[in-house]
Each structure stands twice: as C-alpha cells, then as structure tokens.
C-alpha cells in the first residue's frame, strides 16, 4: 500500500474584507486489488459490472474461436466456414454450421470409386448424434451397390466415418456448451476460485484510492 498526506490551505474573504484561513489535511491511501477488503471488492465489482460483463463475454468468444482452431487442426478431414448461434428468452443454442464437409474419405470397392458426398447434421440445442452420411454412389448399378454395401471394407469405412464425425461433434458441443452456459453471466463471486482468479486479473493494474481527513 502506498500513502501520502495532502495539506491544502485556503483563504476565504467575506463581504467585509475579513480573511479566514483554513487548513485541510487528508491522508490518501492507494491500494491494489489484493489489499482491498471483501466488502470493498464487492462494491468495485458491482460498480464495474457492465464492463466486466462485456470483457468476460469477449474473452469467452475469443477462447471459443481459439479452441475451434484447435479442433480444425485435430480433425483435418472436416472443413467448415462458421458456426452460427442464436438465442431467445429461453436460452441460447447452436443454430447451424455453414459449409460443413467431410473430405479425403475416398474408398474403392470392386473397382468402384466412392466418397462422402454430404453429411446432414441435425440440431436441437447442440449438434445431435443422429446425423446422416451420404455417399456419392448414384452412378453405381443397384445390384453392385448392394454387393459393395455388404463388404466388411465398406462397412468399416462407413463406421470410421461416423465415428470421426461423432467425435468432432462431441468436441464442438463441449466448447459451445461452456460458452453458451455463460452467455448471460460474468465473474462476481470472490469466494469462487474461478471467478476470483478472473477478477484478480481484470483488476490487476488498477489502483484504489481512499481519502480520510486527519488533524
């Protein structure tokens, strides 16, 4: 804690020209966030709540984008342009994903070259597990297509595709849930370790001055 004394002399002249001198002495204490009492911290949090909420929400979204890039690196066979969210008084949810594609998933069975043509994702609050994978096989004769579908090679390939997409969905749902669950909240509870750490970082460079009169 830093502190200093301030002495201010003032002279008041009334209508009759009489001078009155006054000396005011004050003690100024400048403290860091860690030096405040719990009650003082709670008052600072309340008075800064709008800025704390804004910064917290921005950080949540930046963290989400960073984690999304990690998922892109982890699942290189899946590409997408963006994830859309929506909200109402009932809450928030994933509304859709633009440009989702499952790439580099070709296979050859009985001389036929097959690949994933489309993946139909379904949404409720998050991405559901009951998605559909469509294979570009319209040019294959039906009897040969049935034969291909009965092979272990084809079945293992489709199973691997479903597992790959399902794991991607789990990861996206996980990071989306963390952000959506906190959409209308901000750190305020100094007794909660996670909130307390975030608030300590937010107030780290601020100084808090108190002034008291002294004789």
170 with 208, same domain?
no
Query: Does position 95 have pLDDT exceeding 80, yes or no?
Result: yes
Query: Which run of H or of E encompasses 29?
Result: strand 19-31
210 with 163, same domain?
no
Query: Does position 32 have pLDDT exceeding 80, yes or no?
Result: yes
23 with 117, same domain?
no
Cβ(187)–Cβ(199) under 8 Å? yes
Mean confidence (pLDDT) of the chain: 91
Tell me the pLDDT tens digit for each residue of 130-142: 999 999 988 888 8
162 with 89, same domain?
yes
pTM recorded for the entire structure: 0.79
Sequence-distant (6+) residues with CB within 8 A of 117 are: 134, 135, 136
103 with 167, same domain?
yes
Tell me how crowded residue 100 is: count the other CB atoms within 10 A of its CB: 19
Minimal CA–CA distance to 195: which of 187, 186, 203? Answer: 187
Total domains, the chain: 2
Note down the domain range covering 150.
75-184
Task: Name which of 3-12, 65-74, 156-165 the model is least confident about.
Answer: 3-12
Query: Does position 15 have pLDDT exceeding 90, yes or no?
Result: no
Q: What is the pLDDT of residue 50?
A: 96
Query: Does position 4 have pLDDT exceeding 70, yes or no?
Result: no
Q: Is residue 92 part of a domain?
A: yes
104 with 179, same domain?
yes
Q: Which of the pair, 99 or 138, is modelled with greater confidence?
A: 99
Structure tokens at 66: 């960073």
């Amino acid at each position: 804690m830093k502190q200093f004394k301030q002495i201010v002399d003032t002279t008041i002249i009334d209508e009759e020209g009489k001078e009155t001198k006054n000396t005011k002495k004050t003690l100024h204490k400048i403290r860091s966030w860690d030096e405040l009492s719990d009650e003082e911290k709670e008052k600072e949090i309340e008075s800064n709540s709008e800025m704390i909420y804004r910064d917290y929400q921005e950080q949540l979204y930046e963290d989400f984008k960073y984690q999304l890039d990690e998922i892109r690196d982890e699942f290189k066979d899946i590409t997408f342009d963006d994830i859309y969210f929506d909200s109402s008084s009932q809450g928030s949810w994933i509304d859709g994903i633009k440009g989702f594609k499952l790439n580099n998933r070709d296979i050859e069975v009985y001389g036929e070259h097959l690949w994933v043509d489309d993946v139909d994702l379904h949404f409720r609050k998050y991405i559901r597990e009951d998605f559909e994978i469509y294979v570009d096989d319209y040019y294959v004769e039906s009897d040969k297509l049935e034969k291909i579908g009965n092979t272990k090679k084809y079945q293992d390939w489709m199973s691997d595709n479903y597992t790959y997409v399902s794991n991607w969905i789990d990861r996206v749902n996980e990071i989306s849930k963390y952000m959506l669950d906190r959409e209308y909240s901000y750190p305020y509870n100094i007794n909660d370790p996670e909130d307390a750490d975030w608030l300590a970082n937010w107030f780290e460079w601020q100084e808090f001055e108190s002034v008291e009169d002294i004789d």
